[in-house]
Amino acid sequence: MAISDSSPTTLSLPDPTTARAVYLQLLPQIKAVDTSNLAPRNLDVSVAVRLALSALPILEQLKPQMDLLPAAVFDHTKIARVKHSAFAAWYAHLVRVRQTQPKAYAEDLEEAKTLRKSLLSDAEALATRNRMNPARVAEIRAGQGNVDVANDLVALAAAFEAVWDDVHDKTAATEDELQRAEELGANLIVALALDEAPQSLDQPADLSAQAFTLFYNDYEECRRGVYFLRYYQTDRDQLFPSLFSGRRQRGKKRSEKPQGAADTTAVA
């Protein structure tokens, strides 16, 4: 089966209202997660959820083949639930952050606007020479408002990453700037979403860890199915990357954590 794209697309995180509704719907399943067997995490929840949502179009393409896999060896219910469990993990994270961190992001927003302007200028120069997808750059350019600034930074980092091996010596953008764009964008997405998140939901600390674990287990089961179907192809990690892979390697400057290595950082 031909896959229409060799890498995940850029997809925004869900709005808090939608995520909250899904979270409440899945709350019984979240509470049922064994707290003695929580998933480790070495990525921010917003980064992991964005990565998962970006991979879902590939999962949809492969679903007809996945449906043929025996239920005895593959849990099909997790394919149906993974998008919702990602939303729930995101919302549980928002609630947890609201409980533990102040809503101060004015300085970060100003930095984000300046960095977006610089990276967008560099991206447009590359797009003019067809070294970056012009349509993708134009879509980023069209963004307006603070939420778009945050999403645009993450999208710009991903756009550069997709072509970095070919353009790293042809652009003024630096790896440090791209790393900062991804981190700053993700942090601002959380901060801005907190403004919309209800403050009345009482959530024990463990519940965010349970929500993330439910999502992680769903995603890993889907990833296992993708790996089975794409066993003889070399694009498995690009199509459905590990949640713990972080940003994919740019050239030879980044070292990648060995596949399967787990971080022992506890989920907040």
Residue 101 is encoded by which pair of tokens? 């961190």
For the four alpha carbons of 254, 139, 109 and 42, in that order, the dihedral sign comes to negative
For tokens 């439910």, name the residue. Answer: 214
> Residues 142-158, buried b or exposed e (16+ Cβ, 10 A)?
ebeeebebbbbbbbbbb
| pLDDT of 109 above 70 | yes
**Residues 241, 260: Cα–Cα separation, whole Å:** 11
Given this model, what pLDDT does residue 20 score? 82
Degrees to nearest 5, angle at CA 244 with 60 and 68: 30
Interval 170-178 mean pLDDT: 92
Given this model, what pLDDT does residue 107 score? 79
- The reported pTM is 0.64
Given this model, what pLDDT does residue 26 score? 96
Question: Is-contact 115 184, C-beta < 8 A?
Answer: yes
Give the three-state DSSP class for 174. coil
* Structure confidence by residue, pLDDT tens digits, 40-86: 766 678 778 888 888 888 888 888 888 888 888 888 888 889 999 99
Interval 124-139 mean pLDDT: 92
Given this model, what pLDDT does residue 263 score? 38
pLDDT band at 241 (very low <50, low <70, confident <90, very high): confident
Of 36-50, 67-81, 114-128, 173-187, the least confident = 36-50
**Residues 9, 136: Cα–Cα separation, whole Å:** 10
For the four alpha carbons of 67, 71, 73 and 79, in that order, the dihedral sign comes to positive
**Residues 153, 140: Cα–Cα separation, whole Å:** 9
Mean pLDDT value across the chain = 79
